[in-house]
């Protein structure tokens, strides 16, 4: 929360600062930065879960999903038996027919395993990968990553709104900015 306050105050300071001939203030970028900070501050886990549901549906359309009766799907269901619900959240497992040795998870409990991973690993190693993916879901990594990305975007928008002011401040305040201050 401390970083959010710093970013918000920095954005407001940039918005309220005057410009001289050397710098050009970009009001649209400053406003966009403020909006992005607001989005980060008000981002809810449920928002990320809804976005994950939409993304999962889109990815399932774009990839070849193994049918439920395929050997890959049957094997995956056997491996994850007992892990259909974790800490009250339903997991949604599917296999993508792809040679990639990969798996991924989304905030809504979507877990996708590529058939290449199933071809490359025995059941106990696949289970370890699944456990890792479940960890991403339970520890809300998608939510944290999205919030961090919004705050990073806000910083860049704020810097853009300052035009040439920010490099001038860095140069005048810290020399080249590379001295390790």
The DSSP line for 99-121 is S---EEE-TTSEEEEEHHHHHHS
Whether residues 134 and 100 fall in one domain = yes
Do both 73 and 133 map to the same domain? yes
Is 181 a domain residue? no
Which neighbouring-strand residues pair with 89? 86
Is 180 a domain residue? no
Instruction: Judge whether 165 lies within some domain.
Output: yes
Q: Say yes or no: 108 and 79 in one domain.
A: yes
- Do 51 and 94 lie in one domain? The reply is yes
CB 80 within 8 A of CB 105: no
**Whether residue 107 is found in the same domain as residue 148:** no
- Domain interval for residue 150: 2-43+143-174
If asked whether residues 136 and 152 sit together in one domain, one would say: no
Same domain, 66 and 78: yes
Cα–Cα distance measured from residue 171 to residue 174, given in angstroms and rounded to the nearest whole number: 6
C-alpha–C-alpha distance, residues 135 and 159, integer Å: 35
Q: Please check whether residue 128 is in contact with residue 142, taking contact to mean a CB–CB distance below 8 angstroms.
A: no
Other Cβ atoms less than 10 A from the Cβ of 87: the count is: 7
Domain count, the chain: 2
- CATH number, position 56: 3.30.2010
Could you tell me if 85 and 123 lie in one domain?
A: yes
Is residue 112 one of the residues assigned to a domain?
yes
Percent of the chain whose pLDDT exceeds 70: 52
Q: How far is Cα 116 from Cα 94, in angstroms, rounded to an integer?
A: 13
Residue 46: φ, ψ to 5°? -60, -35
Percentage of the chain exceeding pLDDT 90: 39
State the pTM of this model.
0.60
Tokens representing residue 136 in the block = 């991403």
Q: In terms of Cα–Cα distance, which of 29, 35, 40, 39 is closest to 158?
A: 29
Verify that 32 and 97 share a domain, yes or no.
Answer: no
Q: How does pLDDT run across 109-139, given as a tens digit for each residue?
A: 999 999 999 999 999 999 999 999 999 888 7
Same domain, 67 and 107: yes
Identify whether 102 is part of a domain.
yes
- For 43-99, the pLDDT digits (tens) are 567 777 788 888 899 999 999 999 999 999 999 999 999 999 998 989 999 999 999
Calpha distance 142→33 (Å, rounded):
22
Q: Are residues 116 and 67 in the same domain?
A: yes
**Based on the domain organization, do 96 and 156 belong to the same domain?**
no
- Catalytic positions are 133
């Amino acid at each position: 929360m401390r970083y959010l306050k710093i970013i918000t105050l920095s954005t407001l300071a940039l918005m309220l600062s005057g410009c001289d001939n050397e710098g050009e203030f970009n009001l649209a970028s400053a406003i966009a930065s403020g909006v992005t900070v607001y989005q980060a501050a008000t981002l809810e886990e449920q928002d990320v879960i809804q976005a994950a549901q939409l993304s999962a549906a889109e990815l399932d359309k774009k990839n070849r999903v193994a049918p439920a009766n395929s050997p890959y799907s049957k094997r995956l269901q056997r491996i994850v038996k007992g892990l259909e619900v974790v800490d009250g959240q339903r997991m949604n497992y599917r296999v993508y027919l792809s040679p990639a040795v990969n798996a991924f998870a989304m905030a809504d409990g979507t877990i996708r395993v590529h058939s290449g991973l199933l071809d490359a690993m025995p059941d106990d190693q696949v289970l370890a990968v699944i456990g890792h993916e479940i960890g991403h879901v339970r520890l809300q990594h998608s939510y944290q990553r999205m919030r961090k990305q919004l705050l990073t975007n806000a910083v860049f928008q704020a810097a853009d709104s300052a035009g040439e002011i920010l490099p001038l401040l860095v140069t005048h305040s810290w020399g080249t900015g590379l001295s390790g201050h």
